[in-house]
């Protein structure tokens, strides 16, 4: 969103600076984080132009992690990934009420989830902007993955479930994508959105050092209120919100690492336990939230 542009959610041009956040992962550059005065939506101001954003992604990291099983970290990574694949599969079955069907995974990355769902009998298409990740998914798994420009080729009302696992916050034109999701979903289809939560206990704890700000790759910082309002604008209703209870440990450990603290993993786990206990009955304070949305 450019300085004078209107709020993605409510259209207001009245916003103020919350703080400045640093890109610890790639560039070391800082970006202002602003908040809409009218609706409370938080966004990264002055992000790079879309044509320049690829240099802020370290794509080789994703692929190099994928298959080697050498160190303890690699093994933990594999266990965590397989656990998450099973969780995501179960969630799709639960929310769609179907054992198989058509699924579109937007931001499919290296294709592990799309492949897992294919092997469970789903007819899956991935959408991925990175050409190397697309090629990897196609050659490794033989699945169908298209670039974002080919979304228009997906037939109206043909998809049972659309998934965006930590993707919406990266998209330069979320309005376009929500219109496309509405178009391609069946009337009783479901969309699953996983997002970091700017109103989480850990976001409050770490402030501008919260790792899930992840500027400038994250352009939008949703809370359950602003996400609910955003999907409503596009003719959807949020039927359920689920918390992702493990993200807080990972995000806290990275936040401490960025801060330059010693023993970031241990401190991250300790802070994760402390904040989880403190917000035990406040589901909407989890580090990341999963939203299930349906057409209104
Ligand atoms: Zn607003």
228 Cα–ligand 1 center, Å: 13
Residue 209 sits at φ, ψ, to 5 deg, of -100, 10
**CA dihedral over 219, 203, 57, 152, signed as positive or negative:** negative
Burial (CB count <10 Å: 0-12, 13-18, 19+), residue 149: exposed
The CA 284 to ligand 1 mean position distance, Å, reads 20
Measure 223 CA to ligand 1 centroid, in angstroms. Answer: 12
> 173 alpha carbon to ligand 1 midpoint, in Å?
16
Gap from CA of 36 to ligand 1 centroid (Å): 5
Which is nearest to 177 in space by CA: 222, 249, 117, 127? Answer: 127
Residue 191 bridge partners (DSSP): 162, 293
Structure tokens at 105: 């995974």
- What is the model's pLDDT at position 2? 45
Rounded distance from Cα 2 to ligand 1 centre (Å): 14
202 with 251: CB under 8 angstroms?
yes
CA of residue 244 to ligand 1 center, whole Å: 26
Q: What is the largest CA-CA distance in the chain?
A: 53
Tens of pLDDT, residue by residue, the chain (296 residues): 444 578 999 999 999 999 999 999 999 999 999 999 999 999 999 999 999 999 998 755 545 445 656 677 778 888 888 999 999 999 999 999 999 999 999 999 999 999 999 999 999 999 999 999 999 999 999 999 999 999 999 999 999 999 999 999 999 999 999 999 999 999 999 999 999 999 999 999 999 999 999 999 999 999 999 999 999 999 999 999 999 888 899 999 999 999 999 999 999 999 999 999 988 888 899 999 999 999 99
Burial 20-39 (b: 16+ CB within 10 A, else e): ebebbbeeeeebbbbbbeeb
CA of 114 to the centre of ligand 1 (A): 34
C-alpha 71 chain-centroid distance: 27
Separation of 254 CA from ligand 1 center, angstroms?
A: 30
Which residues have their alpha-adjacent CB atom under 5 A from ion ligand 1? 7, 9-10, 12, 36, 38-39, 41
Ligand 1 center–CA 215 separation, angstroms: 20
| 111-160 residue pLDDT tens | 999 999 999 999 999 999 999 999 999 999 999 999 999 999 999 999 99
Rounded to the nearest whole angstrom, what is the distance from the C-alpha of residue 230 to the centroid of ligand 1? 10
| 287 CA distance to ligand 1 middle (Å) | 22
- Nearest Cα to 158, choosing from 123, 194, 131, 134? 123
Distance CA 263, CA 274 (A): 17
Where helices occur in 125-263 by DSSP H, the ranges are: 131-141, 174-184, 201-206, 224-233, 247-259
Residue 7 CA to ligand 1 centre (angstroms): 5
36-54 tens-digit pLDDT: 999 999 999 999 999 999 9
Starting at the edge strand found earlier in the chain, the sheet holding 42-44 runs 15-22, 30-36, 42-44, 220-221
pLDDT at position 36 is 97
**Nearest Cα residue to 216 out of 4, 63, 24:** 24
Cα 39 to ligand 1 centre (Å): 4
Centre of ligand 1 from the C-alpha of residue 11, in Å: 6
Stretch (H or E) spanning 43? strand 42-44
End-to-end Cα spacing for the chain: 27
Specify burial of residue 59 (Cβ count, 10 A radius: 0-12, 13-18, 19+).
middle
Other Cβ atoms closer than 10 A to 239: 11
């Amino acid at each position: 969103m450019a300085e004078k542009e209107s709020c993605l959610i409510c259209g207001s041009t009245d916003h103020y600076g919350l703080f400045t956040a640093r890109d610890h992962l790639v560039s070391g550059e800082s970006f202002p984080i602003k908040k809409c005065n009218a609706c409370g939506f938080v966004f990264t101001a002055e992000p790079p132009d879309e044509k320049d954003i690829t240099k802020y992604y370290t794509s080789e990291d994703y692929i190099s992690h994928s298959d080697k099983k050498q160190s303890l970290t690699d093994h933990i990574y594999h266990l965590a990934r397989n656990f998450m694949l099973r969780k995501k599969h179960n969630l799709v079955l639960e929310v769609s009420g179907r054992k198989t069907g058509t699924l579109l995974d937007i931001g499919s990355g290296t294709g592990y989830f799309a492949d897992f769902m294919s092997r469970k009998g789903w007819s899956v298409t991935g959408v991925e902007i990175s050409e190397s990740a697309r090629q990897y998914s196609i050659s490794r798994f033989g699945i169908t993955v298209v670039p974002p420009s080919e979304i228009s080729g997906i037939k109206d009302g043909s998809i049972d479930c659309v998934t965006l696992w930590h993707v919406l916050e990266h998209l330069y034109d979320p309005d376009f994508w929500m219109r496309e999701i509405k178009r391609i979903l069946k009337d009783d289809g479901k969309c699953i959105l996983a997002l970091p939560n700017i109103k989480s206990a850990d976001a409050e704890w770490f402030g501008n050092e919260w790792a899930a700000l992840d500027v400038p790759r994250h352009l939008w910082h949703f809370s359950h209120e602003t996400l609910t309002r955003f999907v409503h604008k596009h003719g959807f209703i949020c039927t359920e919100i689920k918390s992702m209870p493990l993200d807080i440990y990972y995000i806290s450990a990275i936040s401490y690492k960025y801060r330059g603290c010693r023993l970031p993993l241990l401190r991250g786990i300790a802070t994760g336990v402390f904040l989880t206990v403190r917000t035990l009955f406040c589901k909407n304070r989890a580090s990341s939230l999963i939203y299930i949305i349906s057409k209104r």
